């Protein structure tokens, strides 16, 4: 018997936001490691920064403004990179 699960638009947005947060977190960690170890090329480093910023822009559209600001202040890219 095949069971088909259906999710709502709101659930899909939540799942997307959760996965983007996880990817964002992992990329920020990699950037921090790179600051210590210099394990990335300049091209890889700037590509990761662009991706992190892109995720932040998408997150701004996916979540409520107050939730976004709270998340951004806690986990957003520090422009010191």
* Domain assignment of residue 39, given as a range: 9-75
Q: Is residue 59 part of a domain?
A: yes
Tally the domains of the chain. Answer: 1
Q: Is residue 55 part of a domain?
A: yes
pLDDT average, residue stretch 1-10? 77
User: pTM (2 decimals)?
Assistant: 0.76
Q: Is residue 1 part of a domain?
A: no
Q: Is residue 2 part of a domain?
A: no
Q: Is residue 3 part of a domain?
A: no
Q: Is residue 80 part of a domain?
A: no
Provide CB contacts within 8 A for 79, sequence distance 6+: none
Give 79's pLDDT tier (boundaries 50, 70, 90).
Answer: low
Q: Is residue 70 part of a domain?
A: yes
pLDDT in tens, 11-61: 888 889 999 999 999 999 999 898 888 988 999 999 999 999 999 999 998
Q: Is residue 43 part of a domain?
A: yes
């Amino acid at each position: 018997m095949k069971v088909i699960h259906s999710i709502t638009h709101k659930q899909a947005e939540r799942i997307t936001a959760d996965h983007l947060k996880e990817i964002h977190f992992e990329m920020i960690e990699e950037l921090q490691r790179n600051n210590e170890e210099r394990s990335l090329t300049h091209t890889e480093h700037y590509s990761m920064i662009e991706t992190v910023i892109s995720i932040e822009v998408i997150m701004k559209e996916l979540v409520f403004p107050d939730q976004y600001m709270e998340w951004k202040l806690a986990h957003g890219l520090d422009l010191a990179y």
